[in-house]
Structure 1
């Protein structure tokens, strides 16, 4: 089978965003007198959308969705102020994307980050055009529900077997499997190898360039 496209997760896969996320989270927490979190703690809390981030930060509020939604709105406001401070592509990502684009691969981003943030960060921080970019939207379920991945495949005019899904969390691996995509895990992101393998990763990447032989060896076969 020839791979014709690659769908990427954003945070922890293409972009190192955890410092700015942690700053925004801790600003909200401190405003309410709640405990703050280290970057390492925050890495284990992100990946399932802003609402779930707030629930993990304050689990005792899990059933009080009005309060959680208020915290989400505060987090959005704080994150909008700081996301440009430290968020950058991981080393090797610009070169990987440039090479994939040059070789004619269709590229897409699928994230549980709110769509407006996803869209502007892809545009401002990554070096190549993407054929499809989807962040969290109210009308589409979050990953690991495969609905958004299937919409991206439709946008790219690809079958599931023609695309890889590259991400750094169990949510990403489960999304790929549910959508019929080949799941590929990265080891420079927010989670560890065991989580990715236990969730169905077919391959693990130590560095971005490791994706190239995985894609192009298949294309030569």
Structure 2
């Protein structure tokens, strides 16, 4: 019998590559308000802490006021909502890996700092309807990662203890989330950040390919 009963996944940079859609949408919003745009690669370091932080990091330092961030954020959301999955797709091999995990009886869930409605739409566009038992995006009044609240709520709901749970993500935020929730954090090196960042932030192991998840279940 498998020891691991539940795997929690980050979304952007872990299950699906959303970088180009996020970059294009932010650049459209920046251009609309007369700010410089950034190359797609730069967005690997802007994403990970929700939309507000994404916009804050993309703006020039002198423009990072709450009023200005919220104004650009509004433009970003309007464009991104209409172009959510123009370029977004699951990472190579992830659908097959997910299928094998499900066939072995492991429960799968998504915990992301992407706004909840957008997270649901991306998951619905990229995965079968019954793939995940829970999809939790960022919601008003609920702390977002690296706060462990959502991870713990899912564990409690499905009566899972730390030794039965893995958390998989591609950033410092994800590894901190795993640590704060007292579960093992597996780093996704194919995502937006570096292996060094994942290890520095407490990754139990760094995966080079998503099929390696199967070895730790």
C-alpha distance after superposition, 1:178-221 (max 9, x if no partner): 00110000111000100000000011111110110111xxxxxx
Q: Distance in 2 between matches of 1:144 and 1:50?
A: 15
Does 2:109 correspond to 1:108? yes
Q: Displacement of 1:161 after TM fit?
A: 2.3
Unaligned stretches of 5+ residues in structure 1: 216-221
The answer for the alignment partner of 1:121 in structure 2 is: 122
Spell out structure 1 runs of 4+ moving beyond 6 A.
none
| Structure whose residues are more often helix by fraction | 1
Equivalent residues, number: 214
- SS class of match (1:211): helix
Q: Provide TM-score, normalisation by structure 2.
A: 0.95
Q: Distance in 2 between matches of 1:35 and 1:151?
A: 41
The answer to whether the Cα contact below 8 Å between 2:14 and 2:169 also exists between their aligned partners in 1 is yes
> 149, 152, 162: which one pairs with 1:150?
152
After TM superposition, list the pairs within 5 Å mapping 1:164-203 onto structure 2: 164-203=166-205
Q: Distance in 1 between matches of 2:37 and 2:157?
A: 40
Q: Displacement of 1:34 after TM fit?
A: 0.4
Q: Provide TM-score, normalisation by structure 1.
A: 0.93
Unaligned stretches of 5+ residues in structure 2: none
C-alpha distance after superposition, 1:8-29 (max 9, x if no partner): 0000000001011111000000
Q: Distance in 1 between matches of 2:111 and 2:37?
A: 29
Q: Displacement of 1:139 after TM fit?
A: 1.3
C-alpha distance after superposition, 1:7-59 (max 9, x if no partner): 00000000001011111000000001101011110111100000001110123
